[in-house]
Amino acid sequence: MSLHTQYLESFLRSQFYMLRMDGPLPLPYRHYIAIMAAARHQCSYLINMHVDEFLKTGGIAEWLNGLEYVPQRLKNLNEINKLLAHRPWLITKEHIQKLVKTGENNWSLPELVHAVVLLAHYHALASFVFGSGINPERDPEISNGFRIVSVNNFCVCDLANDNNIENASLAGNNFGIVDSLSELEALMERMKRLQEDREDEETSQEEMTTRFEKEKKESLFVVSGDTFHSFPHSDFDDDMIITSDVSRYIEDPGFGYEDFARRGEEHLPTFRAQDYTWENHGFSLVNRLYSDIGHLLDEKFRMVYNLTYNTMATHEDVDTTTLRRALFNYVHCMFGIRYDDYDYGEVNQLLERSLKVYIKTVTCYPERTTKRMYDSYWRQFKHSEKVHVNLLLMEARMQAELLYALRAITRHLT
């Protein structure tokens, strides 16, 4: 993240506030919730970090033996943790009512909002961790059993050096420099054409809806089971064996992402963004129940959405707005969220298939991300630009989870 210092400051401010500043939840609870969230994606890097923090802030060591050792009210978060992580569109006001109903294990609304913000933050952060190749492997020779090493041959020392990555990925593929350059030129040409077309023609609302439905259905065919078998596995196993030290923090480990647009599930209504937006609805609700976090999250969302250096690989003075918007909106599309004023035809023009595979994996099944996927898209781009993509994906995912959860809380309140 330090490749993008402006964003990093904003990220650290909001994370510090969630974990350390005044808020509805006691400090050990905050870290335990972070552990529960990271465990949904088997993200041992984040789990280990928060196990330490949990103990440092006075957490009861016995809770780390697993969910059967924690208070019932924490255990009650299991369902919402699971749905938020994998299928947030299934969250209803009934889930909220169950958690806040009166009784000794109930959650107050401010506590629940704090918990939901933490869950969404750590699910999304797991996407960033795996997308950037940061996850520890077990090392029996080290006292705590872990060391930070490369994942799938991601070399941590390379991460700070754009040129290494760039040269390594160029040398390591069969396409050669010429194809990579023409791929880049072609993308820039498409961006330019889209800008011009937008000025020339008005697309009808009907056509916009059709294009969204088409993109949503097409996302079904991105990352099929076969795709995974075609990748050479290094640290990855087909069945993703979940180690006991991770699975103890979750229930129903088999529950995972399923496409919003699954065939035969036509009854799931699309989330029309303008009916419940972050700016007009989510922001004020969060701020009312957990003061100031709304401002910090809003700043972070805006920061990543508008972050640009006006460069693409070796080119300068490039307006990357259409590309950033396509990345953000494609994530929301996979989560069933649609913007009326956005032409989803742009997604298909700007995001090639290997990039879509990467986006869907990082966003929906981050623990399956491989170095090969990372290298397979935008071969001419700098590593810092790919980290920028990961930041956009992380924030788009967090916002999607929050929109569904906050909409359910709003419905409970009304």
In whole angstroms, give the CA distance from residue 33 to residue 299.
Answer: 23
Which one from 43, 155, 333, 364 is the annotated catalytic residue? 43
**126 closest CA partner among 184, 41, 24:** 41
Q: Which residue from 126, 80, 122 is spatially nearest to 100, judged by alpha carbons?
A: 80
Would you say 276 and 91 are in contact if contact means Cβ atoms under 8 Å apart?
no
DSSP state of 281: I
Question: Please, which residues have CB within 8 angstroms of residue 209's CB and are 6 or more apart in sequence?
Answer: 338
3-state SS track over 133-157 = CECCEECCCCCCCEECCECCCCCHH
Matching residue, tokens 């041992």 = 44
Distances (CA, A) of 194 to 69, 151, 190, 198, 328: 56, 37, 6, 6, 17
Q: What are the phi and psi torsion angles at 311 (to 5°)? A: -130, 155
To the query of whether residue 155 is one of the catalytic residues in this protein, the response is no
Query: Which structure tokens are listed for 147?
Result: 């060391």
Residue from 298, 302, 301, 348 nearest 326 by CA? 348
Asked if residue 84 lies in contact with residue 120, where contact means CB atoms within 8 angstroms, the answer is: yes
Q: Estimate to the nearest angstrom the gap between the alpha carbon of 261 and the chain centroid.
A: 19
The catalytic site residues sit at 43
